[in-house]
Amino acid sequence: MTLDRKNFLVGTGVAAAGAAIGFPAIVGAAPEPIRLGTIPCLTGSNALLGSQEHDGIQLAVEQINARPEKVYDGRPFEVVEEDATNDNQSAVSALNKLLGENIVAVICPVLSTQVQAMAPVMKSHDIPWMTGGTAVKNTQLGVGGMFRLRASDGITAAAMTNFAVKEKHAKKVAILHASDAFGTGGADQIVQNLKKMNMDPVANEQYPKDAKDFTAEILKIKQSGADALLMYIQNPSDTAIILQQLRSLGFTPPIVGSPSLGNQTAMETAKKNANGAYAAVDFIVGFNSNVATHFLTSFYQRFHHNPDVGSGSGWVFDSVNMLAAVYRKQKSTDPKRTIASLKSLKGFEGVLGRFDADAEGNMVHSVSIGRIEDEKLHLVKTVSA
């Protein structure tokens, strides 16, 4: 297209004339969209988490914008998305880019280190920050508008430990975890919970990133005489490889995993090797609520596969709907009012269950223990903190 100045002027003139005749009545009535910022990790080694975050937000926004009143008064959501990549520095740039885009709230990446890297920038902006990062300290960073829509590692690790010791009567608990922040943070929480019961782990094995052979770790755990194994591992591929090697090396005691073990991707990757393992997940296993059933069916129709509910698409779907509900109620997107409303929010019904905000901004206070059979979770019990 050749656009020179003359053409441009003519074009503008025509548009201006059209506007003068009567278009403004329609154009001016188009309600202003509500700009929602998101920073998933779309590239790099955590791209799986990012793509699930992207899908969950997209689904929620499409559903809300399809309603006649949209969010409220006909105002739709408009998503502004920037890639957090894999790296803290790029995540901070992405955040700074977003903050220049006139957004009213941000859905953060699920990686806790990235949330912490962004915290110094977040502190100087009074808008709601919705996070799915489970590290306990995410809500203790001094960021006013931080809300966590998942169970913290503190709650999950306590549930895992209690289940192994009290229900499975384990006397010798072993831990296997990844070397990233999620794995080490979770393992520390397990150790603390064991301490409360006057126990120490008989083995606490950490494997390096991208490891493919776990014979050494598994044999050490076997030799320690462990009668239960607690795993804190995010990566579904690592989870699958470890479960396969545990099985082929003849490890038989009960295995209790972090929420990531109960993720659809992990179960589908591990296939039969995950059978019989337990996972502590921060959603209601069995999905008996209408919201959850609706989410699962519409997600499948839209993306042709089952979602990872906890760390993946569920918490962001809930974040978008929670913000929409607050905006609808207060008929405003004013960030400070929104933060106040979120802080006093009680009994919001989401995919993950019931959300009640506490003083720190934690919204989820219970986890379920599920047993994996044939790539599905079966509810064993629900634990409230």
Partner 1 sequence: MHFDPVANLQLLVSGLAIGSIYALVALGFVLIYNAVGVVNFAQGEFVMFPAYIAATFALPAVAVFGGVVHWQLPLIAVYLLVIVLMVGFGLLFNRIAYYPLRDRGWLPVVISTIGVSIFLRNLVQLTWGSQPLVLPPLFPVDTIAVGALHIRPQDLAIIGVTALLIAFQYVLFERTTLGKQMRATAQDRTTARLIGIRVGRIVAITFVYSALLGTVSGLLVAPLFTVTKEMGALIALKAFAASIVGGFGSIPGAIIGGLTIGVIETFGGFYVSSAYVDAIAFVILIGVLLVRPSGLFGERVAEKA
Partner 2 sequence: MNRRVLALIVLIVAVALIPAVVHSDYILTLCVTAGIYAIVVMGLGILLGFTGQMSLAQAAFFGIGAYTSGWLTTHLGWPVWPAMACAMAMSALVALAVGYPCLRLSGHYLALATIGFGIIAQLVLINWKDVTNGSDGMTGIPAPVIGPWTFEHYNSYFYIVLVAVLACAYVAWRIKTTRVGRALEAIRENEIAARATGIDATRYKIIAFVFAGAYAGLAGSLLAHTTKFLSPDSYSFDQSVVFLVMLIVGGSSSIGGAILGAVLLEFLPEVLRPLKSSYIMVYGAAVVVMIIFMPRGLVGLFESLRARWRRGAPPPLGAAAAAEAEAA
Which residues contact partner 1 by CB under 8 A? 43, 45, 47-48, 50-51, 179, 205-213, 215-217, 219-220, 222-223, 236-237, 240-241, 244, 247-250, 265, 268-269, 271, 304-305
The nearer residue to partner 1, 48 or 143, going by C-beta atoms, is: 48
Q: Tell me which of partner 1, partner 2, none is bound by residue 171, counting a contact when its beta carbon lies within the kind-specific cut-off of 5 to 8 angstroms.
A: none
**By CB under 8 A, residue 117 contacts partner 2:** yes
The nearer residue to partner 1, 28 or 250, going by C-beta atoms, is: 250
Q: Which residues contact 200 (CB under 8 A, 6 or more apart)?
A: 191, 194
Can you name the residues that pair with 218 across neighbouring β-strands?
Answer: none
Burial class (CB in 10 A: 0-12, 13-18, 19+), 2: exposed
The nearer residue to partner 2, 140 or 252, going by C-beta atoms, is: 140
Q: Report the C-alpha gap between 374 and 40 in whole angstroms.
A: 30
Q: Report the C-alpha gap between 274 and 255 in whole angstroms.
A: 9
Residues 314-353 that bind partner 2 (CB under 8 A): none
Q: Report the C-alpha gap between 50 and 89 in whole angstroms.
A: 17
| Per-residue contact string for residues 176-215; x = within reach of partner 2 by CB under 8 A | ---xxx-xxx--------------------x-x-------
The nearer residue to partner 2, 194 or 377, going by C-beta atoms, is: 194
**By CB under 8 A, residue 301 contacts partner 2:** no
* Amino acid letter, residue 292: A
Q: Report the C-alpha gap between 322 and 342 in whole angstroms.
A: 8
Alpha helices in 5-84 (DSSP H): 5-21, 24-27, 47-65
Q: Tell me which of partner 2, partner 1, none is bound by residue 141, counting a contact when its beta carbon lies within the kind-specific cut-off of 5 to 8 angstroms.
A: partner 2
Q: Which tokens is 267 given?
A: 């179960």
Min separation Cβ 155 and partner 2, Å: 18
- 281 vs 269, 368, 372, CA distance in Å? 18, 5, 12
Min separation Cβ 57 and partner 2, Å: 14
